[in-house]
Structure 1
Amino acid sequence: MNFKKLGLMVAICIAVIVGALIFIRDYLIEKTEFIPDITDLTHNYLAEDEIREAMAKRQAADIKPAEVITTLQDGTPRIALVFDGMPDRPLAARLLDVLAKHKAEAVFFVEGDNVADEPETMKLICSAGQEVGNYTYVGLAAMEKCSVEEQVKELCRTQKAITMHDPLTPNLFRAPRTIYGDDLLKSVRAAGLEYAVKENVRFQPGNIHNQMEADRYAASVINGSIIAIPVNPYVEQKVNDVAVREEKPIMDKKPTIKDDHSAVVPPTVDLATELDLLLTAFEARGVQAVFVNQFRKIHYIPANLPIFNQDKQGDVK
């Protein structure tokens, strides 16, 4: 081998090595320097800025309570479906397939901690054209018994968890076993939510096994009803144990959708099949499931509270 060929080979090797180093520098090192660390989003889910802003709004004298969406009373053959809790991904996919099959609309009220744990499930719901609502961060019951700070924290953290994974900010709120008084509804408004949803029918999974039972159930539901379908367990409020709540936040006690032992839907129940039978029954009666946003919006007065100036406060928009 002469020196010219040897020199050419050395030059080619050097060029290859230099090119490889430049490629690594330009495409593998410099560009990755600007990729944020997205492996730990815990701090972002705290929503500290959003909570401060909401608390300032909540303390304003002119803040108005959020309105409550309730039943239709025009007799039109419509119902609204709301799912309480975010289902795991396999169940969510099956429920969405059933809704698409029947051209039905629904709102999935999701817990912020479950969204943080499995955001792809929430994205699946949104991409299917269904709506997502705020079900508090842990599915907290008796929200009206919480302090204003606790209410705002639960709501804002859930809003933050959802909007971190979807550009659409929810405007619908629900909480299990909760009385929608003005104090709570002002917190709902301060957190950026316009409406709270009040159901009049609570569906219990496991009671529909065939089309005949589904037909019988559908016949018992009046037009204009809002049907709540439980998916996950809720967290009980410890009203008289403030010290324990402060020492160990109640959100730590919430089972996520990965905890099969705590599911509301018994393992033997196929909720998607029940929903299919139920929607088939409603279709036979000419009843369509629509988004709850189409229903009445009122200034809500709980039944167990004294009523003053009902003509003004109870007006339907």
Structure 2
Amino acid sequence: MNYRKLGLFAILVLLCTCGGLILLRDYVAKPTAAPLPYVDRDDVCSAAEEIAGAEARLAAGEPPAEVITRSSGDVRQVAVVFDGLPERPLASRLLEVLQRHHVPAVFFVEGQNAVHQPETIRLIRAAGQEIGNYTYVGIRGAEKLPTKRLLAELCRTQHCLGIQMQEVPCLFRAPHTVYTDSLLRAVHAAGLTYAVKETVRHTAGTFREERDAAAFAATVPAGSILAIGLSQPVDVKEASSAEIEERPAVDKKPTLKDPPSAQSAGPPADAADELDWMLTAFEAAGIEVRSIHAFRKIRYVSEPSPVAEAGRGGV
């Protein structure tokens, strides 16, 4: 046999053997990697220390947070707040509309959503808009929660928003909530200075065309705080009667208005289009959209007990 051919044959056999060993190592002999353990991202917002601190402050007699409500008198201004953190594409469009109209707004966001959408939080803050605390999951009727659960909702949201923004919000809102004395004290104990109470509410996706928004805007009284709902509130099991300790502190005669729904045919508009139409209508009516911080602030004063009233009456 030709030694040259024999050498080439030996090299070919060697290469085939090496290739087979590599294949065996990578696809047969290599042990299957164990799946990564599931990590609950909500754990980063446990806020145990913050909750304990809030409970201590509340036990020590924390004063209630102030309530921001509608402007008094015939002030031709409104404020706009959003309920719920939108997905990033919608947030981007809403921010573009706000910038085009030179309008400030507050995005009240759920702590749970903020954990999973940090880029949306950064987008809102980069646009110069404010972010507020909307409880951890956007709870409806927050005044009915047991105190410990309420503080957890507030403090967990403060904690995870603080991580995202490097600062904590000072504004609180909760959907369809009565601002009781105990609620406002818990809000302040959780590090929030103000609770915002809307006077007009609009659910995004109910307008069909621009004239619907214009008709709605015409019903909004001057001095109102307009809340635009972007997410569905979360219902919570009713608390027992023993857990409902307080009476209403604000809006005993509510002025909240739900203007009639749009009647036009066609599919609902995008929330950003609706916002654009409403802001255009406000401008046409000479109504300025201002920062929520320019509105009236009310410090709740507890009503005297019947015993105290009787004592004063006998003097």
Aligned residue in 1 for 2:270:
270
Residues 285 and 308 of structure 1: is their aligned pair in 2 closer, same or farther, counting only changes over 3 Å?
farther
Deviation of 1:142 after TM superposition, in Å, equals 1.2
| CA-CA distance at 1:288 after TM superposition | 1.7
Offset, 1:213: 2.5
Q: Secondary structure at the residue paired with 2:231?
A: coil
How big is the shift at 1:240? 5.1
RMSD: 2.1
Following the alignment from structure 2 to structure 1, what is the Cα–Cα distance between the partners of residues 230 and 43? 28
**1:106 and 2:105 correspond:** yes
Tell me the residue number matched to 1:135. Answer: 134
Alignment of 1:113-262 (within 5 A): 113-239=112-238
Please list the CA deviations of residues 259-285 of structure 1 after superposition, one character each: whole Å capped at 9, or x if unmatched. xxxxxxxx9441110111110000111
Q: How far is 1:207 from its partner?
A: 3.6
Following the alignment from structure 1 to structure 2, what is the Cα–Cα distance between the partners of residues 138 and 154?
A: 8
Q: Is the 8 A contact 2:208 2:268 kept in 1?
A: no
| Structure 1 residues 22-48: Cα deviation after superposition (integer angstroms, max 9, x where no partner) | xxxxxxxxxxxxxxxxx8754331011
Q: Is the 8 A contact 1:181 1:300 kept in 2?
A: no
Runs of at least 4 residues of structure 1 off by over 6 A? none
Q: 2:132, 2:171 within 8 Å by CA — same for their partners in 1?
A: yes
- Note the C-alpha offset of 1:199: 0.5
Q: Distance in 2 between matches of 1:240 and 1:176?
A: 17
Q: Given residue 218 of structure 1, which amino acid in structure 2 is its aligned partner?
A: A
The residue that corresponds to 1:57 in the other structure is 57
Paired with 2:271 and 2:210, the residues of 1 have a C-alpha distance of: 14
1:297 aligns with 2:297: yes
**Which amino acid counterpart does residue 54 of structure 1 have in structure 2?**
A
For the 8 Å contact 2:111–2:160, the answer to whether it is kept is: yes
For the pair shown, which has the larger CA radius of gyration, 1 or 2?
Answer: 2
Secondary structure, in 3 states, of the residue corresponding to 1:115?
A: helix
Gap regions ≥5 residues in structure 1:
1-38, 243-266, 310-317
- 1:268 and 1:186, CA in 2 relative to 1: closer, same or farther beyond 3 A? same
Amino acid at match of 1:45: C
Paired with 1:87 and 1:114, the residues of 2 have a C-alpha distance of 9
User: What corresponds to 2:29 in structure 1?
Assistant: none
Alpha-carbon distance, 1:81 to partner: 0.6
Kindly provide the amino acid, as one letter, of the partner of residue 211 in structure 1: E
SS at 1:164's partner residue? helix
1:211 offset after TM fit, Å? 3.0
What secondary structure does 1:165 align onto? Answer: helix
- 2: CA distance between counterparts of 1:72 and 1:240? 33
The percentage of aligned residue pairs carrying the same residue is 47
Deviation at 1:294?
A: 1.1
Tell me what 1:288 maps to.
Answer: 288
Query: Any idea what the Cα deviations from partners look like across 1:121-171, whole Å, max 9, x if unmatched?
Result: 011111101100000000011111111101110000000110101023100
Deviation at 1:205, TM superposition (A): 2.7
Letter in structure 2 aligned against 1:50: E
**Alignment partners' CA distance in 2, 1:225 and 1:140:** 23
In structure 2, relative to structure 1, the CA distance for the partners of 1:240 and 1:77 (3 Å cut) is closer
DSSP 3-state at the match of 1:203: strand
TM-score by length of 1: 0.72
- What displacement does 1:210 show? 2.9
Q: Is the 8 A contact 2:68 2:297 kept in 1?
A: yes
Instruction: Find the counterpart in structure 2 of residue 45 from structure 1.
Output: 45
TM-score (norm 2): 0.73
